[in-house]
Amino acid sequence: MGTMIRRIGVLTAGGDAPGLNAAVRAVTKAAILAHGWSVIGFEDGFEGLLTGRSCPLTLDSVRGLLPVGGTMLGTSNRTNPFWCAVPEFGDREPRDHTETLIRSLQRHEVDALIVIGGDGSLSIAYRLWQLGVPIVGIPKTIDNDVRGTEVTIGFDTAVAVATEAIDRLHTTAESHHRVMLVELMGRTAGWIALFAGLAGGADAILIPEIPYSLEAIVEVIGRRERAGRPFTIVAVAEGAQSREGQAVYEITGPQPYQRKYGGICRVLEEQLASRVRLAVRSMALAYLQRGGSPTARDRTLATTLGSAAVHAVSAGHFGQMVAVRGDPHGRAMTSVVTVPLAEAARGPRLVPADHPLLDAARRLGISMGESLD
């Protein structure tokens, strides 16, 4: 692959997130209008790149994508080119397909590749760059857990959906005098539960970073009932775990991210039912948090990062990820920078113990499920 850019490729990998289409649109328009490059999209993430499933991206093909959820390219979290089985190739067991991937890029005359993904997909991108593939990353995930950036595409929409759900549950919880457990996405990082729980006025918030005590939740419910407020809202990240290390998931593959979380609120419902006087109900928002039209903030973030990724390609900043950083002077505006993909590959970005939202929650009397000992 030469250094002269004539055609770039783009793919969306991992879980879907609101704003992916806006990012694809921005990459396509910036590449064509600012540089005169042609653009090719690979379907279903790295799977399409391996098998050659692709489509040309033009100004006409991305028209109207800005408010549309999902991704026109499709996505997949099943294919790691370093170790996967591809049925189209007759694989019965996983194997390394990186040579096939590089040949596919060469066959499609792709001079640089833009990968829109979360920490798992960007870790793959980092390893591909180490093999010599000219690559730039764009961080997306509703979980907001990519290292090196303060926010990812899809997070704002997921928080808005979760907040609205908690708002709606308040009325039925109060009317029926119930404890409502709301299960939100967040496997190892509790960003959605923390932001939506605080915005929605939850009485307790359980996140993976802070092991919870069942007794602490019982205390919150009892305290509210004694104060004449016989209902409680608990926002729970799907990866929340007890002090004993109990989390609820199903292992679906060899990779750390191949765990299907879900069901923690059903477990809590059963445990609390015999310990509190009020009726306990649980619900999981699940994929509702991923769907629908992106918020204005996610649209503008995706547009900004998509444009910045194309600029990074033009500047030869490969092995980098475009990212959002806070203004060092403390102004409201943030800046878009490039950071090494190695940063995103270091594992998920967790909620730090000194995060200001944790302090705010505790000052407002919101329990984080911490032990009463």
The answer to whether 7-153+294-344 and 157-291 have equal CATH topology is yes
Strand, coil or helix: what is 38?
strand
Residues making up the annotated binding site for ATP are 15, 78-79, 118-121
pLDDT for res 127: 97
Give the domain 7-153+294-344 fold.
Answer: Rossmann fold (3.40.50)
pLDDT for res 326: 75
Q: H helices of 36-79, where? A: 46-51
pTM listed for this prediction: 0.93
Chunk the chain into consecutive blocks of 10 residues (it has 373) and report each block's average pLDDT, rounded to whole numbers.
82 96 98 98 96 97 96 92 91 93 97 97 97 98 96 96 95 94 94 97 97 95 94 96 80 68 89 94 91 95 97 97 74 78 95 95 95 70
pLDDT for res 333: 47
Record the tokens describing residue 205, joined without a space. 């918030």
Which one of 3.40.50.360, 3.40.980.10, 3.40.50.460, 3.90.226.10 gives the CATH number of domain 157-291? 3.40.50.460
Catalytic residue IDs: 143
Residues making up the annotated binding site for Mg(2+) are 119
Residues making up the annotated binding site are 15, 78-79, 118-121, 141-143, 178, 185-187, 238, 281, 287-290
* Strand pairing report for 334-340 and 320-326: antiparallel
CA distance 32 to 7: 10
Strand, coil or helix: what is 208?
coil
pLDDT for res 1: 42
Strand, coil or helix: what is 255?
coil
Residues making up the annotated binding site for substrate are 141-143, 178, 185-187, 238, 281, 287-290
**Domain residues of the chain, as ranges?**
7-153+294-344, 157-291
pLDDT for res 257: 59
Instruction: Say if residues 211 and 242 touch (Cβ distance below 8 Å).
Output: yes
Q: H helices of the chain, where? A: 20-35, 46-51, 98-107, 119-130, 155-176, 191-199, 214-226, 264-273, 296-314, 341-344, 356-363
H and E: helices and strands count for the chain = 11, 13
CA distance 221 to 352: 27
pLDDT for res 247: 78
pLDDT for res 244: 84
